[in-house]
Amino acid sequence: MAEELKTEEKKVDIKRVLSIIFKVILGLVFLALGIWAVVAWWRDLILVIKGCIGAFLILAGIITLAIAKE
Protein backbone atom coordinates (compact mmCIF):
# COMPACT_ATOMS: atom_id res chain seq x y z
CA MET A 1 0.00 0.00 0.00
CA ALA A 2 2.75 2.46 0.92
CA GLU A 3 4.68 1.54 -2.22
CA GLU A 4 1.64 2.32 -4.38
CA LEU A 5 1.36 5.79 -2.83
CA LYS A 6 5.03 6.51 -3.50
CA THR A 7 4.62 5.41 -7.11
CA GLU A 8 1.60 7.67 -7.56
CA GLU A 9 3.47 10.60 -5.98
CA LYS A 10 6.35 10.12 -8.42
CA LYS A 11 3.94 10.05 -11.37
CA VAL A 12 2.29 13.25 -10.20
CA ASP A 13 5.65 14.95 -9.72
CA ILE A 14 6.80 13.90 -13.20
CA LYS A 15 3.58 15.23 -14.74
CA ARG A 16 3.97 18.49 -12.84
CA VAL A 17 7.58 18.92 -13.93
CA LEU A 18 6.74 18.15 -17.56
CA SER A 19 3.88 20.63 -17.39
CA ILE A 20 6.18 23.35 -16.08
CA ILE A 21 8.81 22.60 -18.73
CA PHE A 22 6.17 22.72 -21.46
CA LYS A 23 4.89 26.08 -20.21
CA VAL A 24 8.40 27.54 -20.08
CA ILE A 25 9.20 26.36 -23.61
CA LEU A 26 5.87 27.68 -24.88
CA GLY A 27 6.52 31.02 -23.18
CA LEU A 28 9.96 31.28 -24.78
CA VAL A 29 8.50 30.48 -28.20
CA PHE A 30 5.85 33.20 -27.82
CA LEU A 31 8.51 35.64 -26.62
CA ALA A 32 10.70 34.92 -29.66
CA LEU A 33 7.74 35.25 -32.04
CA GLY A 34 6.77 38.56 -30.43
CA ILE A 35 10.28 39.96 -30.79
CA TRP A 36 10.39 38.79 -34.40
CA ALA A 37 7.02 40.43 -35.11
CA VAL A 38 8.14 43.77 -33.65
CA VAL A 39 11.34 43.70 -35.70
CA ALA A 40 9.64 42.55 -38.91
CA TRP A 41 6.79 45.06 -38.75
CA TRP A 42 8.54 47.98 -37.06
CA ARG A 43 7.22 50.64 -39.47
CA ASP A 44 3.65 49.39 -39.12
CA LEU A 45 3.99 49.39 -35.33
CA ILE A 46 5.18 53.00 -35.32
CA LEU A 47 2.26 53.92 -37.60
CA VAL A 48 -0.25 52.33 -35.20
CA ILE A 49 1.34 54.08 -32.21
CA LYS A 50 1.19 57.44 -34.01
CA GLY A 51 -2.44 56.78 -34.92
CA CYS A 52 -3.35 56.03 -31.31
CA ILE A 53 -1.81 59.19 -29.84
CA GLY A 54 -4.86 61.30 -30.69
CA ALA A 55 -7.34 58.83 -29.19
CA PHE A 56 -5.17 58.51 -26.08
CA LEU A 57 -5.07 62.27 -25.59
CA ILE A 58 -8.86 62.53 -26.03
CA LEU A 59 -9.41 59.81 -23.41
CA ALA A 60 -6.90 61.44 -21.06
CA GLY A 61 -8.75 64.74 -21.42
CA ILE A 62 -12.14 63.12 -20.73
CA ILE A 63 -10.79 61.36 -17.64
CA THR A 64 -9.19 64.59 -16.41
CA LEU A 65 -12.45 66.49 -16.86
CA ALA A 66 -14.38 63.73 -15.06
CA ILE A 67 -11.97 63.90 -12.13
CA ALA A 68 -12.08 67.71 -12.04
CA LYS A 69 -15.89 67.66 -12.04
CA GLU A 70 -15.97 65.82 -8.71
Q: What is the mean pLDDT of residues 15-27?
A: 92
pTM over cut 0.85: no
Q: What is the DSSP letter of 41?
A: T
Which pLDDT score, from 0 to 100, does residue 7 have?
63
Q: What is the largest CA-CA distance in the chain?
A: 71
Residue 53 has pLDDT above 80, yes or no: yes
